[in-house]
Amino acid sequence: MDSAQIRDQLTAVRLRQAEQVAAIEQWHPDVPISSLSLVSAFEELAATDPGQRPGLVAVLVAASRHLGSLNRAGEALPYATRAVTLARDLADAPAVATALDNLALWLTRCGRPAEALAAIQEAVTIRRRQAAGAELARSLFGLSVRSATPGQAVAAYREAVALLTEAGTADPGGVASALGALDLLVAGPALADRDRMTAHFLLGGRGPRPLDDAADRVTFARNLRVVSMSLAGHGLPEAAAVGWTLVVAAEQSLLTDPAHAEDAVYSIAQIAQARYAAGDGDGALALWDETIGGLRGTGSPPEVVNALADALSRRAPMLTGVARHREALASAEEAVRLRERLSDAYSPRFLPELMLSLNVQSTSLANLDRVGEAVAAGARAVAIARAVAGADAGYRDQLAAGLSDQSALLARAGRAREAMAAAKESLTLYQALDRETGQYREDVISGLRGVAARYHEQGKNFRAQLFAGQAAALLRQDRP
């Protein structure tokens, strides 16, 4: 298969994840594929296929939010503005309102309150024409945060609450779903109000009725998951636990659906990690056992098999964390086998996932002091990363990360020359990526430290100090 075919397959991988990136996960810096990369992919597609232009609007919004989550509001604003312009060109009123909601946020963060108020007022006007209850509530909450007068703010807030209450009467899942969609409420008293309202809803015995439509379950689960994480962080653990239970039930009902299985595992992973971080390792592993059991079966579609491999790969580090190293390796090795079969059957489509599973396998082998085998698995991961990055430059950071990990393993195996070469190549890649995007400064610092460590291991302390000094200088630049 030539490089053009590989590139087409990798673009398909990105587009499968576009909806995830453009939705709730867009607020997190560690999304599986950066929304900034997706902007380029959609721009290329929209140039030849106008049907992709609405997708470009969503990804532009996602890109602005991703940059905003990194405290780069000034860079987020142009993406938000482009989203509004494109939505207007498409004459898509709902998309215009969504883009205006988003634009108002970044105008506020950039110290332009009058323009932010005008944007959110226009969004409210559009939503009223559409009679969009929950969506109108979202814009009204934004208006309440940005209103010039206390009276207007209170009126907008009360109307939003009334709309959500009405939605909850018509659909018991509506309140939680709508509350989770209030992505403008990212800080301050408004966020606390949202959390208190959600906690009251969850603990008041008004749990949602079963949602028959898979798309409704996806919206409910993804939105409620984010709010439940917020509840846990704001001292409302009982409500968070109820929310997580509802989310897991909804997500596990989607595990055999090829359209949603992979994203369901990602969502469950966030809850499992939150429980693990809170000290409930047994609960987190039990959740993975339930999920993996729900995914097993013969003749499953490739998306479900890939979701199973993902769950196995994500479970392995948690098993390592509780010193169950052999079980961790078994979980990682099964994931590799599954993704090898998928890659054989579907060519490059699953290569990025195979690369990630090989990295987990390599780490698991190293934890058992099977360093030679760990190096071999890491070498396979690097080789795949090199091929994938050669076809799609958006994967260069994965190659850089793999080389960094491999450098440490090679050093541990006593292969100093190869370890140094891997460390230097990783650093060079991160430096190039940081020059292009400005998003890899911490990785450059880590790469400089990695090269310094390799020189120190060789007894070349002067060179080690040079690289360590460069890392320290960059770190000082990043501090206020």
The pLDDT of residue 447: 94
Q: Which of 349, 345, 411 is nearest to 378 (CA)?
A: 411
Tokens of 128: 């009223």
CA distances from 47 to 51, 78, 135 (A): 10, 20, 30
What residue ranges of the chain have pLDDT lower than 70?
Answer: 1-38, 41, 69, 132-134, 145, 148-151, 153-154, 157-158, 161-162, 164-213, 215-216, 219, 234, 298-299, 478-480
Taking 3-state DSSP, the helix, strand and coil percentages for the chain, each rounded to the nearest 5, stand at: 85, 0, 15
Rounded to two decimals, the pTM is 0.64
What domains lie within the chain, and their CATH numbers? Answer: 1-130 (1.25.40.10), 369-480 (1.25.40.10)
Q: Which of 437, 436, 423, 403 is nearest to 467 (CA)?
A: 423
DSSP letter for each residue of 34-61: -HHHHHHHHHHHHHH-GGGHHHHHHHHH
Q: How far apart are CA 327 and CA 4, in angstroms?
A: 40
The pLDDT of residue 21: 43
Answer left, alpha or beta for residue 174, where phi above 0 means left and psi between -120 and 50 means alpha. alpha
Instruction: Tally Cβ neighbours within 10 Å of residue 358.
Output: 27
The pLDDT of residue 366: 96
Q: How far apart are the first and last CA of the chain?
A: 50
Q: How far apart are CA 119 and CA 142, in angstroms?
A: 10
Q: How far apart are CA 454 and CA 449, in angstroms?
A: 9
Tokens of 324: 């169950």
Q: How far apart are CA 307 and CA 239, in angstroms?
A: 28
The pLDDT of residue 22: 42
DSSP letter for each residue of 357-371: HHHHHHHHHHHTT-H
Q: How far apart are CA 270 and CA 43, in angstroms?
A: 30
Summary mean pLDDT of the chain: 80
CB contact at 8 A, 353 and 335? no
The pLDDT of residue 184: 35
